[in-house]
Amino acid sequence: MSDNSENTTHFGYQTVDKAEKVGKVAEVFHSVAAKYDLMNDLMSMGIHRVWKRHTIACAGARPGNQILDLAGGTGDLTAKFSRIVGEQGKVVLADINDSMLKVGRDKLRDLGIVGNVEYVQANAEALPFADNSFDVVTIAFGLRNVTDKDKALASIYRVLKPGGRLLVLEFSKPTTEGLSKLYDWYSFNLLPTMGKIITNDADSYQYLAESIRMHPDQDTLQSMMEGVGFEEVSYQNLTGGIVALHKGYKF
């Protein structure tokens, strides 16, 4: 591998310096933070809520658990985990983007969720937590925006307790050609148009569509998780593989 390729990565379909990607992703989410929840509902026709509920159900969280909701954005998973872990537990809502964290904090406080939630601005590649800190780590629709996914997965593995588990909910590869073609048409025609109308930002939603296509497919992500030490790694396709839920354990 040449030095050049070692120093570059993809930002959607563009090739950029690795040092630039964090800033470019930050711009996207600063731009869309205020309308993020509304756009999620519109883009997925509300199905993202079903995917997230399923992730919660598969997480096996219990009262007293310590949970990291990584790239947790506006706090959908954190809100549900907060109620499950109770007063003796803790949920850390972590995101690299302070605009998203502020929206999430305001939303959860409006819901009356205080006390067992912490808010931390953090880069997934270098998590600022001690080894063996969490029973469960979730990352929902965030991994594809990380520059070095292997480094992020290794960082997550480090902060999980032995017996802990990671759940990655992420856009993936549709399982049939017909669905794939329909999904492509929707992603590259309707998504940027909706972004333009709702957030006055078509470019960010063009990036999101491209970033989904550049994300590793189901089997590749499974291998990446195994490569940093996760065991009993499995995945479940949701909505025909448009989204997949990966799960792995640290023993």
C-alpha dihedral (100, 103, 107, 108), degrees to nearest 10? 50
95 assigned ligand-binding residue: yes
- How distant, in Å, are the alpha carbons of 36, 130, 163, 215 from that of 231? 34, 21, 10, 21
The two three-digit tokens of residue 214, written as one number: 């550049």
Residues 6+ positions from 132 with CB-CB distance below 8 Å: 159, 160, 161, 162
On the CB side of 172, how many CA atoms lie within 13 Å of its CA? 25
CA distance 180 to 242: 8
Q: Is 69 annotated as a binding residue?
A: no
Cα–Cα distance for residue pair 173/122, rounded to 1 Å:
28
The answer to whether 74 is annotated as binding is yes
* Kind of pairing between the strands at 14-17 and 66-70: unpaired
Distance CA 54, CA 150 (A): 25
Q: Is 131 annotated in some ligand binding site? A: no
Annotated binding site: 74, 95, 123-124
Indicate the annotated binding residues for S-adenosyl-L-methionine. Answer: 74, 95, 123-124
